[in-house]
A and B are shown apart, each in its own frame.
Chain A
Amino acid sequence: MLGFIIRRSLTIIPTLLGVSIVVFLLLSITPGDPAELLLGERATVESLEAMREYLGLNEPLHVQYGLFLKRLIKFDLGETIWTRQKVIVEIKERFPATIELSLAALFLACLFGVTLGIVSASRQYSIFDYLSMVGSLIGVSMPVFWLGLMLMLVFSLHLGWFPVSGRIGVNTELEVITNFYVLDAIITRNWKAFWDVLQHLALPAVALSTIPMAIIARMTRSSMLEVLRQDYIKTARAKGLSETKVVLKHALRNSLIPVITVIGLQFGILLGGAILTEHVFSWPGVGKWIYEGVVKRDYMVIQGGTMLVATVFVVVNTLVDILYAVINPRISVK
């Protein structure tokens, strides 16, 4: 088992190296001169030249990549082109916001996804089953952008239940300690801020959760249906157990194994999905930051952001694999 864990963990390194090369090459073949973008219509030849020199764009490609890699090993992602801040500092400022949002969305997705899946499977072909599967189909295909705006129109403008955008109200004071606002509010026992933060979190979390929720619901349903056909379920039923007990006690545990994998995958995807959600809801996380980095062709932001998302994705997947092996030891033998 330990051997498996070590081997599995070591695969992270070549994966990330591959990601770094792909990102670097993609950026270098994409047209668009950051110096021109930075200075706009007004740029003179002299100021452009000075800017390119400053940004190191005059160096040959392999030298630029080498420098990037050298810094990467030291966990230094360089400075952004636009704000001149350390990329690592910028990520640190924004990452908690993204994690907070992603966890909230994941929580909603699991809670409702698994519940929907169980109920649908146990009442296959019922009206509820149809409704929830149609609902999850809509959930998968709904553009986050549109959904976000609709949520705002209904729940903010018309009903006034939730704030429109942002992470905390302008007039709400909160002492920032961990930069996870929910946590900070609890630590400082600032219940007014706690409530305010939760309200701000609600709509973007809902918007972000729809796709994973739908996927988890469908996965749970089909996995559950498969398990329900197994002999031991028939046995359990034959023993005279109540249907609820059969479903929740005997079937659920086994059907959740593939669902865990999906949930793990979804967490990585959530980080990517956060890019659009954060943009729509003006959520100050890494997603919005990467989005703007792409628009402004800020190489350092794109590189740093992609490396971050890739790392999280790969690490979470590795953890899921390991967890999987722990739950089901047959896996590690392969």
Chain B
Amino acid sequence: MPRRMLVFTLVLCMAFVFGGCAKKEEAPKQETPMATSADGPKEGGTIVFGRGGDSVGLDPAYETDGNSFMVCDNVYEQLVAYKDETTDVEPGLAKSWVIAEDGKTYTFQLREGVKFHDGTPFNANAVVFSIGRMMKDRNLKFFGDGFDVPPQERPPEYWVSMEMDDTVDSIEATGEYTVVFNLKRVEAPFIANVGMDFASIISPTAFLKDPKAYVRNPVGTGPFKFVKWVADDSITLEKFADYWDKSNGGPYLDKVVFRAIPENSVRFLELKVGNIDICQFPNPADIDMARKDENIKLVEQPGMNVGYLGFNHTKALWQNIHLRRAVAHAINRQAIVDNIYQGMGQLAKNGIPPTMWGYNDDVPGYAYDVELAKKELAEAGYPEGKGLPEIKLWSMPVPRPYNPEGLKVGIAMIGDLAKIGIMANVTSYDWGTYLKRQREQPEDMDLFQLGWTGDNGDPDNFLAVLFDGLASPAIRTQYKSERYHELMLMGKTTIDQAKRAQIYKEAQQVMFDDVAVLTVAHSTVIWPMRNNVMNFKLHPTASVRMKNVWKN
């Protein structure tokens, strides 16, 4: 009797729940293109942005995570800005800049009449303070009185990892609105770098009031000012009435609220109910549901990222190019993109995404060709895999933008390898261990999955930091090629972008010929949002910009 009752109750529950779901399914709807309202932008209203986690902090020099940067993107500005949908650089807080002949001196002319949210006027000293506080050797010169720059709380991560201490020699305010950066070396990506979040300009007076508390009380010049932070729940921003840039008409919104909703499915439910307006990182399955919901539209943008399968080049086995080639041709990457990325991505043939300047479309990419793979394997000295030890393929334990499900990708890969006679198994560790051990290039790692999301749209930010093993023992791929290294150095020291594009194109060809890594995919970012959200665009750097968004 009790058991029958249990079954009955369960069936009843199921019928109720799923019956309810089925009711809602309607005919699939066409994807709405970025609709622009016939009446034009509207002033006022609140946008609630649903995301997976809370911000860590709001001091841009010290943050490393997307949830912090997306708030910073609306509070702060930098000397230069990336355009709305690309990483092309345009003037930001600096209205112009001049690069000296030798490529080592940058003189920025700043905008006048710009104010911070706390009323502090924006000027050259604010720039010297904001950027200078990250320097190890504080080689700074203020104009007039200036400020005392307090000691560092902890290493400013981006400043360190972008090698800015090796790049910037001194920063000087030579006038109320003129700042000069003297570099130690020619660094072509420098302008792109100062558009990054870490180089945001902060209000020195607000910071000095209480340096420890600043991380929770940010003050910038951006279109929205910080109002309130309820830990683990929400961050509220408010329109900054004195915002300087009215050229596009924005900011239109009165308020922007960033809500932390960790569960993907719950976040999507909140969107369906209408409690949030934009839903970040939905489950792939929810995308289909979003397409069927007439109150919801989708916005998408190819991500500025690459997911790849690396070879352990430090192991003698993998110095055999035929073996690498065999692997490259054996794996059906298109199937991985179709089935595991669920179409939210495109097959990658180069180390940089196709939307980036310098992309070499002439590189053919490795075809999925089992016969060719077998031939290469035989040529490598292991016909049908005979004599080859068991291969250990490391799979990522966490989803990243460039690889939604590492383990599934790994299993698909070893299945493909088995077809040509390469016996492999999948290994995984927790993320912290994975990253740590991967760096050591241990014997028990043959192949590994990793990837990268770009910061500033410069090919150097992909090709050099990921693949130039001769530059540093810390490069995770440890691909070593004299020619490639030479090209990377040339790329860094050439200022002319057209020439740099040529250099990077050649580098991609070199990588391809050497089978440096097996690039798998560039993922596509797709976010659902309510129909009445207008003019919201995804940025390749994943920054979230509310300045020109309005609500109908």
Contact = CB atoms under 8 A, between A and B. Distances in A.
Interface of A: 31-34, 36-47, 50-51, 54, 82-85, 90, 93-94, 130-131, 133-135, 137-138, 149-150, 152-154, 156-158, 160, 163-167, 170-171, 279-282, 284-285, 288-289, 292, 297
Interface in B1-56: 1-2, 5-6, 9-10, 13, 16-17, 20-21, 46, 48, 53, 56
Nearest to B62: A84
A152 B269 CA distance: 8
Contact of A284 (B17, B20, B232, B433): B232
Nearest to A159: B20
Interface in B448-486: 450-452, 465, 472-474, 476
Contacts of A150: 13, 17
A282 B261 contact: yes
Contacts of A131: 5
Contacts of A289: 232
Contacts of B157: 39, 47, 51
B153 interface: yes
B66 to A, nearest CB: 11
Interface stretch (B86-94, B116-124, B176-184, B270-278): B270-278
A54 B9 CA distance: 56
Nearest to B429: A31
B120 to A, nearest CB: 24
Interchain residue pairs A-B with the least CB separation, the first 7: A32-B432, A50-B155, A284-B232, A284-B233, A31-B433, A36-B435, A47-B160
Contact of A171 (B46, B231, B474): B46
A296 to B, nearest CB: 9
A130 B155 contact: no
Contact of A288 (B21, B56, B262, B436): B262
Contacts of A279: 262-263
Interface string B251-292: 000000101111101100110110100000000000000000
Contacts of A82: 56
Given A37-B432, A167-B233, A153 B275 contact: no
A134 B10 CA distance: 11
B20 A158 contact: yes
Nearest to A149: B265
A90 B155 CA distance: 23
Interface of B: 1-2, 5-6, 9-10, 13, 16-17, 20-21, 46, 48, 53, 56-57, 62, 64, 153-155, 157, 160-161, 163, 215-216, 230-234, 257, 259-263, 265-266, 269-270, 272-273, 275, 400, 429-433, 435-436, 450-452, 465, 472-474, 476
Given A32-B432, A41-B450, A280-B263, A153 B232 contact: no
Contacts of A154: 16-17, 20
Contacts of A45: 472-474
Nearest to B430: A32
A44 B472 contact: yes
27 contacts: A31-B433, A32-B433, A36-B432, A38-B64, A40-B64, A40-B435, A41-B450, A42-B452, A43-B161, A44-B474, A47-B157, A47-B160, A50-B155, A90-B231, A93-B231, A133-B2, A134-B9, A135-B9, A149-B265, A154-B16, A165-B270, A166-B234, A166-B259, A166-B261, A282-B259, A282-B261, A284-B233
Would you call the interface of chain A mostly helix, strand, loop, or mixed? helix
Nearest to A297: B432
A37 B9 contact: no
Contacts of A46: 160-161
A153 B231 CA distance: 26
Instruction: Kindly name the residue among B275, B400, B452 whose own CB sees the greatest number of chain A CB atoms within 10 A.
Output: B275
A170 B266 contact: no
A51 B154 contact: yes
Given A40-B64, A150-B13, A167-B233, 17 more contacts: A31-B429, A33-B433, A36-B435, A39-B157, A39-B161, A42-B64, A43-B161, A43-B435, A44-B163, A44-B474, A46-B160, A46-B161, A85-B216, A134-B2, A157-B273, A170-B46, A284-B230
A163 B451 contact: no
Contacts of B265: 149
A41 B56 CA distance: 18
B269 A50 contact: no
Contacts of A36: 431-432, 435-436
A85 B62 CA distance: 13
A273 B400 CA distance: 28
Given A50-B160, A84-B215, A165-B270, A41 B452 contact: yes
B6 A137 contact: yes
Contact of B234 (A31, A41, A170): A170
B2 A41 contact: no
Contacts of A90: 231
A6 B38 CA distance: 76
A83 B435 contact: no
A41 to B, nearest CB: 6
Contacts of A34: 432
Contacts of A170: 46, 48, 234, 257, 259, 275
B401 to A, nearest CB: 11
B435 A281 contact: no
Nearest to A34: B432
